[in-house]
Amino acid sequence: MGDSGACARVFGEAIRGIASQHYTADQLAAWQACGADAGAFGAARLQGITLVAEAEGYVVAFGQLHPGDHVEMLYCAPEHAGRGIGSRLLGELIQMASTRGARVLTADVSLSARSVFERAGFRVVAEEVVERHGVGLPRLRMKNVLPAQ
């Protein structure tokens, strides 16, 4: 859990800097509030498998597989977005899920992350709105049918 604070920082920066293109100020504030409780955020990161990417000694992205067939989180600091870091993390999570026997991988994806997931083979199966702190946040339920090992 030593890098939980760094991951929480990336979480907040990604929401403010990347998701702001697709969400209102109220939606961004409600989403960011989900990471405000450091203890809860750290405990959530201990579930499943979390991969962390570093650059120059700093955490710049992270992704989580929990349970073994669901990408729970994938966030990248805005200053490192567009460099393929998130795509590489997602690729590693896909490979881990496949190796562990998953045949279908799901994810609940922000509008901002849609293209990253589509490039990795995910397809939209539903559009939905999830409530966070009394505010509706649109997101996409996506899935990727994995090749048999």
Over the stretch 61-86, which tens digit does the pLDDT of each residue have? 999 999 989 999 999 999 999 899 99
Contact 111, 139 (CB under 8 A): yes
Q: What number of other Cβ atoms are within 10 A of residue 106's Cβ?
A: 18
CATH architecture observed for domain 4-145: 3-Layer(aba) Sandwich (3.40)
Instruction: Assign 2 a pLDDT band (cuts: 50, 70, 90).
Output: low
Return the domain boundaries, the chain. 4-145
116 Cα distance to chain centroid: 10
Contact 64, 73 (CB under 8 A): yes
Over the stretch 8-65, which tens digit does the pLDDT of each residue have? 899 999 999 999 999 999 999 999 888 766 667 777 777 889 999 999 899 999 999 9
Over the stretch 100-141, which tens digit does the pLDDT of each residue have? 999 999 999 999 999 999 999 999 999 999 999 899 999 999
pTM higher than 0.85: yes
